[in-house]
Every structure is written in C-alpha cells, then in structure tokens.
C-alpha cells in the first residue's frame, strides 16, 4: 500500500445547532482518482472546506504528504501542494486564456509583463498536462464551458507544485460530449502521480474514472469502495441513502383525470431539447434531474423566464408562455426556488405580498382596496396557518417555512389551474414541510395540475404520482407510481443505472 497523499482523520466540525462532520475520515493516495459521494447535506462540501483550511475543525487531524498541518490555514494547505477546482469558474470573461492561467502569478520582467512567455507557457501546459490545444490569446468569454473548466484547472496547477487536486462537481455545467475533455485531463494528471479527489453527483462518472470511492452520509464516511466495477453503482446508491422514507407525506386516494397539460417539443437550444410531457388533471407530476440536467431551465422556460420554443397546451388550448404575465393570465402559477429573490418582496407585509398577484381584483379604478385585501389575506393566513398570524407582519422576519406559505398564499388568492413548484421545501423546517405537502395534495384533490421540480428524491417519491427524469438536457425516462422508490430514482437520476436497464426492470 502506498503512502497517503493526504489523510483526514476523526474530523468533527460543528456549526450552531448542527454537527456537520461527526468523526469523518478521508484518505487519498498519490496517483489515484478518489471519488467522494453523498447526498446534499451529507458533509461533502464541509470536509472539502476543512481540507482547504477554510474551517478549523473542533477535533481531528489533517495530514498532507505524511506531515501533520496544524492549524491548517489556506496558505499552509496551498504550500503543501493541495489545489481546489471550485464548482464556480471564477474567471474574468474578458481576460485571455494566458492571463487567466497566470492570474496572481504573472510572469513579469524589468519592462513589465512578459505576455509572450505567459502565452507560450500556458499553451504548453494545456497541451502537455491537460491534452488541450487552446490558444493562449483566446478570450474566456469565447470558450465553451469545458474549455473554461480546463483553464481553471491550468490556473490551479501551472506552478507545477500540485500534489493533490480536488475537483468539486467539475462536469455539472457541461454537455455530455464535453465531459470527455475533463476526463482526459484527469487521466493525464493521474499518470503524473497527482492524487485526485473527485466530488460529483454523477455516479456514472464516478464509476467510470475513480479507483476508489468514499461515501458520506450524515457527517461520516459510511462506506469505502476499494474496487470499482460496473456493479458498484447500485451499491453506492444504497450506501448514500441508507435511511427510511420520512413518514410525513400525505396519503392520497386521488385518481388522476384526463390529460390536461401537454408540452410538445420544448427546446431552448442550450440547456434542454425536445421535451415532451403529458400531465393529467389532478396529478402531481415530478421532475428530477441533477444540476445541469436542464430541469431548472425547463421550469423557467415554462413560466416565460427563459426563451424557448415549443407548444404548451392547457385543456386543449395553446398557451403563450413568452412572459410570466401571460403564464399567470392563463392560470399557471410558479412558486419559485429562490423565494428571497424571485418569490417575495421581503420588505413588504404579508398582506401586500399575498395580494400582489391579485391587485386587480382588490382594486377599484386602480386604487387598492386595503380592507378587502386584508380580508382575503386573513382568510389565507388561517387556511395556511401562517405564523405570526398577522397580515401586517413584515415578510423579512418570517421563518423560511412561513415565507414559503406566503408565496403559496399569493397564488391561492388567485384561482389557478396549474401550480409549478420549484424546490418547494428548500430551507423549510420539517413541520412546515409536512404542511406544504398536505397543501399540495389538497390542491391536486381539487383538480389542479401540479408540477414539482426537486433535487430531493425523497420529496419526489413521497409526493408524486409520476416522475420524469432529466439528464443532460433530455427526459431520459418517466417513472410510474409502482416503480417509484428512492433507490431507483437516485440510481436513474445520477446515471448509476442506465435508462435501458430501467425500462427493462419496469
């Protein structure tokens, strides 16, 4: 067994009220590609930040290249040869490739910058170390996402001192064919004896390129796979989930009606292409997909927040979704994922937010009838159990769950036919989650069409009748109720099980 390139042992990291890491271990050897997987909140990003020296753990030891680093500061970690390829690109769009690669470590002579040398060295590094023929004078904004990623990698490694490289979701914004470029680069780095920690939600990639994999769950490493075979995928999934379905989902005796909402050939020419979906009245329809699958973009497009082509028919009539206003006028409403930015006007009161979409109905000749608006809001506050139950409370000071209910209240105030929920329970506490699920269930029972886009497989399995799984811009499959379980959904979403197997199984 070779010596470890780096080793984290017994790491405990606490935040107010949370034990984010609870005695976690992670060890990567030189010349290996080591996968790190786990669900959101399992502690992956926390342990990366501990390794980076950003967090100072309460307990545990950090060793790089056989020597302990204590305390671990970002500078010391960097000096020890650990480099991070962040998920965000952090590049200046109008810089050239060469300028970006040498950012912060420019080559400069007595007469200023040696631009020519920087360019030739950047090109040589990209070609020899990462297998890419990028010209050094190209501007970043003219590069494809994968090329930008390679520039980011080159910047981290160009000083030649890297011993450990951490890739955090490097392929998330990339199209399938572009992923190969990153994989080629990683394979090249591996042959140089560099230790690589590869963090990704895409289990198929993990299986493809990793030599070993560590699985995190609830702040600990729960499994280490020393050998990766094609069968490892499902095993990874069960190690990642390892928990029971939460019992707070409502029981349902609904039966869906006829097809009422139809999406045909939806295409934005970029994030998703040729999406076709039929959704029934009274149905709760889920859309699953990792970041970069086109799921978020599709939801935006449906609501006119993103340019796209395609036909949307509601009850047989074609609906114009070019702008959000037209979508609302046609009875489609969106409960957005980032309610602080998109959903609520935080300095306004609960009553003002709740009646924002129905101002016309509460106004006479353009003047808002405050009394009427308040009546409507008070009824909604009671129905939704918004706390504090005060229509004049300022929305900013409400908890996440109650803010989400205010967004709901706005759309309930308007009688809509289609409700689109984008990440309906992100940042919402468990109790409020259950209430929101019940509310969604009630809406469906009353005959509304519900679309839920979510990154939480448990949520989708618990609430939906059917779930469409998107991957790299396509709807890969639609999972019917009888096949809907978390293991299976995660396996399909992450690519651990390919679609053909799915269809075989069902």
Q: C-beta of 95: minimal distance to another protein in Å? A: 6
Query: Which residue's CB is nearer to another protein, number 163 or number 414?
Result: 163
- Contact by Cβ (8 Å): 37, 200: yes
Q: C-beta of 209: minimal distance to another protein in Å? A: 25
Segment interacting with another protein, rule: CB under 8 A, options 86-94, 247-255, 375-383, 464-472 = 86-94
Q: Which of 40, 70, 105, 323 binds another protein (CB under 8 A)?
A: 105
Count of residues that interact with another protein, criterion CB under 8 A: 24
Considering the rule CB under 8 A, would residue 164 count as an interface residue with another protein?
no
**Binding characters for another protein, 124-163, by CB under 8 A (x = yes):** ---------------x-xx------------x--------
Rounded Cα distance, 490 and 26, in Å: 24
Q: Which two tokens stand for residue 133?
A: 């023929």
Considering the rule CB under 8 A, would residue 347 count as an interface residue with another protein?
no
Segment interacting with another protein, rule: CB under 8 A, options 85-93, 230-238, 383-391, 489-497 = 85-93
User: For residue 185, what are the contacts with CB-CB under 8 A and spacing of at least 6?
Assistant: 129, 130, 131, 132, 150, 153
Rounded Cα distance, 479 and 346, in Å: 38
Query: Which residue's CB is nearer to another protein, number 156 or number 350?
Result: 156
- Contact by Cβ (8 Å): 476, 499: yes
Rounded Cα distance, 496 and 400, in Å: 33
Q: C-beta of 84: minimal distance to another protein in Å? A: 8
Considering the rule CB under 8 A, would residue 86 count as an interface residue with another protein?
yes
Considering the rule CB under 8 A, would residue 99 count as an interface residue with another protein?
yes
CA 454 remoteness from chain centre: 9
Q: Which of 68, 70, 79, 113 binds another protein (CB under 8 A)?
A: 113
Rounded Cα distance, 460 and 39, in Å: 15
Considering the rule CB under 8 A, would residue 378 count as an interface residue with another protein?
no
Segment interacting with another protein, rule: CB under 8 A, options 109-117, 248-256, 309-317, 351-359 = 109-117
Query: Which residue's CB is nearer to another protein, number 159 or number 320?
Result: 159
DSSP 115-145: HHHHHHHHHHHHHHHH-----TTSBGGGS-H
Burial-class residue 374 by CB neighbours within 10 Å (0-12, 13-18, 19+): middle
Segment interacting with another protein, rule: CB under 8 A, options 38-46, 93-101, 247-255, 419-427 = 93-101
Rounded Cα distance, 44 and 220, in Å: 9
- Contact by Cβ (8 Å): 236, 491: no
- Beta strands 220-225 and 259-267 are unpaired
Query: Which residue's CB is nearer to another protein, number 125 or number 225?
Result: 125
> What helix, strand, coil percent values describe the chain, rounded to 5?
35, 25, 40
**Binding characters for another protein, 268-307, by CB under 8 A (x = yes):** ----------------------------------------
Q: C-beta of 148: minimal distance to another protein in Å? A: 11
Considering the rule CB under 8 A, would residue 92 count as an interface residue with another protein?
yes
Query: Which residue's CB is nearer to another protein, number 157 or number 407?
Result: 157
Q: Which of 22, 25, 106, 267 binds another protein (CB under 8 A)?
A: 106
HSE toward the beta carbon, residue 193, CA cutoff 13 A: 9
- Beta strands 195-199 and 164-168 are parallel
Rounded Cα distance, 173 and 88, in Å: 10
Segment interacting with another protein, rule: CB under 8 A, options 26-34, 100-108, 339-347, 413-421 = 100-108
Residues that bind another protein (CB under 8 A): 78, 84, 86, 88, 90-95, 99-100, 103-106, 108, 111-113, 139, 141-142, 155
């Amino acid at each position: 067994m070779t010596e470890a390139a780096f080793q984290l042992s017994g790491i405990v990291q606490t935040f107010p009220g949370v034990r984010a890491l609870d005695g976690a271990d992670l060890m990567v050897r030189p010349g290996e590609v080591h996968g790190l997987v786990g669900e959101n909140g399992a502690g992956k990003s926390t342990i990366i930040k501990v390794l980076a020296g950003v967090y100072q753990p309460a307990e545990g030891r950090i060793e790089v290249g056989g020597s302990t680093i204590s305390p671990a500061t970002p500078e010391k970690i960097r000096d020890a040869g650990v480099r991070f390829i962040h998920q965000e690109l952090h590049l200046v769009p109008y810089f050239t490739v060469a300028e970006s690669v040498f950012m912060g470590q420019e080559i400069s002579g007595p007469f200023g910058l040696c631009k020519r040398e920087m360019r030739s060295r950047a090109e040589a590094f990209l070609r020899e170390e990462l297998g890419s023929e990028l010209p050094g004078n190209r501007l970043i904004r003219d590069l494809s996402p994968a090329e930008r990623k390679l520039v980011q990698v080159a910047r981290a490694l160009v000083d030649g001192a890297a011993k450990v490289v951490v890739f955090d979701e490097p392929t998330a914004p990339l199209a399938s064919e572009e992923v190969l470029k990153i994989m080629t680069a990683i394979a090249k780095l591996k042959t140089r004896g560099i230790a690589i920690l590869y963090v990704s939600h895409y289990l198929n990639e993990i299986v493809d390129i990793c030599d070993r994999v560590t699985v995190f769950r609830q702040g600990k490493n729960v499994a280490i796979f020393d050998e990766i075979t094609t069968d490892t995928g499902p095993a990874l999934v069960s190690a990642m989930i390892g928990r029971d379905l939460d019992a707070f989902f409502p029981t349902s005796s609904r039966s869906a009606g006829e097809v009422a909402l139809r999406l045909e050939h939806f295409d934005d020419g970029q994030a998703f292409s040729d999406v076709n979906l039929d959704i029934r009245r009274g149905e709760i329809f889920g859309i699953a997909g990792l970041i970069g699958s086109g799921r978020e973009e599709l939801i935006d497009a449906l609501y006119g927040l993103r340019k796209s082509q395609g036909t949307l028919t509601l009850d047989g009539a074609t609906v114009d979704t070019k702008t959000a206003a037209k979508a609302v006028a046609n009875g489609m409403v969106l409960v957005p994922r980032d309610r602080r930015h998109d959903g609520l006007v935080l300095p306004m009161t609960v009553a003002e937010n709740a009646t924002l979409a129905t101002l016309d109905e509460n106004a006479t000749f353009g003047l808002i009838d405050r009394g009427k608006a308040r009546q409507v809001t008070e009824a909604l506050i009671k129905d939704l159990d918004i706390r504090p139950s005060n229509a004049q409370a300022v929305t900013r000071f409400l908890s996440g769950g109650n803010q989400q209910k205010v967004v709901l209240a706005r759309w309930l105030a308007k009688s809509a036919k289609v409700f689109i929920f984008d990440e309906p329970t992100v940042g919402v506490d468990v109790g409020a989650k259950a209430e929101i699920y019940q509310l969604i269930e009630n809406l469906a029972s009353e005959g509304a069409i519900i679309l839920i886009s979510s990154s939480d497989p448990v949520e989708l399995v618990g609430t939906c009748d059917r779930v469409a799984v998107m991957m790299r811009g396509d709807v890969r499959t639609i999972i019917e109720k009888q096949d809907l379980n978390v293991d299976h959904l995660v396996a399909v979403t992450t690519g651990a099980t390919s679609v053909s197997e799915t269809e075989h199984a069902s």
